Amino acid sequence: MRKYFHFILICAVYYNCTTNRAELVLLGTVHDPVENFNADSLYNILTKIKPDLILFEVDSSFFTKAFEFKKTWDSNENVATIRYMNNFEVDIRPYEFTGRNKYRIKIGSRPTDNKATQLLDSLYSNNLLSPLDEKTYNDYLRVNDSLISRAYLGANSFNSLKTDRIAQKRQGYQYKKLLDIMRNYPIFQNTYYIKHTGDSICYLEGYKKAAEFWDLRNQTMANNIFHFIREYKGKKIVVLNGFFHRYYLNAIIRPKQNELNFTVKEFYDY
């Protein structure tokens, strides 16, 4: 009798866990309308998933205390989300790194990262890189073009493992291999950007800080997503993210599915 009772208890626990399991869709997006993907495309995807919660790639400064948008803009995500909010019951929450742009300016990674990239491109264009560094930079451009081209093929294309692998490779080039190239040329250590505080930062250090922030930003976003998984137990959650982030978020989030009782799904599973 006791064994039977234990069996029933285990079944009940298992049933509760499987039926009260949250669903999480890491929905990669393109921010501006392109061929084969626009606000209508995103809205149609949302209507198929029917989420209880949409996590939006901004921080809390974009929302009122009632979690309504303080302003609207023409991004695919904003237009589609507001349209969905007007037609269906759904919660919207921010999950971005708080004060992302101000933080980057404060630490000196912006606009130094762009200036360093422009300088590196100039060295490449004028044949001033070593043969090995020139090949690395050329490989980066090739991978970058390959990733960008995926954005024009529709949501199925940039929500795929193939695109995730290309994005991971592209970001590895941008924040590791290009940084290694810059270390080989003193001009990146000897060229400075003057911040609004009057402090200066060399291009190499600014680019290094940008690389570190890429990791910090994605890790923060993932931790914020975990917070909402715990808060919205058993609910259907859509995480809108520029598709460059998908590989990073997937790597952090998928291993936690059993621990936090949720399942990662693709939008085309619905």
The single residue listed with the structure tokens 């909010």 is 85
Using DSSP, state whether 260 is helix, strand or coil. Answer: helix
Kindly state whether residues 255 and 165 are assigned to the same domain. Answer: no
Supply the pTM of this predicted model: 0.91
Q: Is the pLDDT of residue 4 over 70?
A: no
From CA 166, how far away is CA 223, in angstroms rounded? 24
Is the Cβ–Cβ distance between 114 and 120 less than 8 Å? Answer: no
- Beta-bridged to residue 192, according to DSSP, are 202
172 domain-assigned: yes
State the alpha helices, DSSP H only, in 1-60. Answer: 2-19, 39-49
The values of phi and psi at residue 49, to 5°, are: -75, -40
Q: Any idea what the CATH number is for the domain that residue 92 is in?
A: 3.40.1010
Total tally of structural domains belonging to the chain: 2
Residue 46: both structure tokens together: 């949302």
Give the tens place of pLDDT for each residue, 104-119.
999 999 999 999 999 9
**Measured at the alpha carbon of residue 227, what is the angle toward residues 226 and 231, in degrees to the nearest 5?**
115
Kindly state whether residues 27 and 77 are assigned to the same domain. Answer: yes
End-to-end CA distance of the chain: 42
Q: What burial class does residue 6 get, using C-beta atoms within 10 Å of its C-beta: 0-12 exposed, 13-18 middle, 19+ buried?
A: exposed
Kindly state whether residues 93 and 176 are assigned to the same domain. Answer: no
Rounded to an integer, the average pLDDT of 181-199 is 96
10 domain-assigned: no
- Beta-bridged to residue 202, according to DSSP, are 192
Kindly state whether residues 90 and 166 are assigned to the same domain. Answer: no
Q: Is the pLDDT of residue 5 over 50?
A: no
Is the Cβ–Cβ distance between 49 and 238 less than 8 Å? Answer: yes
- Longest Cα separation, the chain: 83
| Top mean-pLDDT range of 5-9, 37-41, 65-69, 193-197 | 37-41
The string of DSSP codes covering 86-149 is HHS--EEEE-SPTTHHHHHHHHT-TTHHHHHHHHHHHHHHTT-S-HHHHHHHHHHHHHHHHHHH
Kindly state whether residues 95 and 169 are assigned to the same domain. Answer: no
Region class of 63: left (phi > 0), else alpha (psi between -120 and 50), else beta: beta
Kindly state whether residues 82 and 126 are assigned to the same domain. Answer: no
Using DSSP, state whether 70 is helix, strand or coil. Answer: coil
Sign of CA dihedral 98, 103, 109, 113: positive
- Of 199, 214, 206, 211, nearest to 111 (Cα)? 206
Kindly state whether residues 110 and 203 are assigned to the same domain. Answer: yes
Give the tens place of pLDDT for each residue, 130-171.
999 999 999 999 999 999 999 999 999 999 999 999 999 999
31 domain-assigned: yes
Q: Tell me which DSSP letter residue 26 carries.
A: E
Kindly state whether residues 128 and 64 are assigned to the same domain. Answer: no
Q: Whole domain around residue 196: which residue ranges?
A: 106-214
Kindly state whether residues 155 and 201 are assigned to the same domain. Answer: yes
Using DSSP, state whether 193 is helix, strand or coil. Answer: strand
Kindly state whether residues 90 and 135 are assigned to the same domain. Answer: no
199 domain-assigned: yes
Kindly state whether residues 123 and 206 are assigned to the same domain. Answer: yes
14 domain-assigned: no
pLDDT range class, residue 196, cuts 50, 70, 90? confident
Kindly state whether residues 210 and 112 are assigned to the same domain. Answer: yes
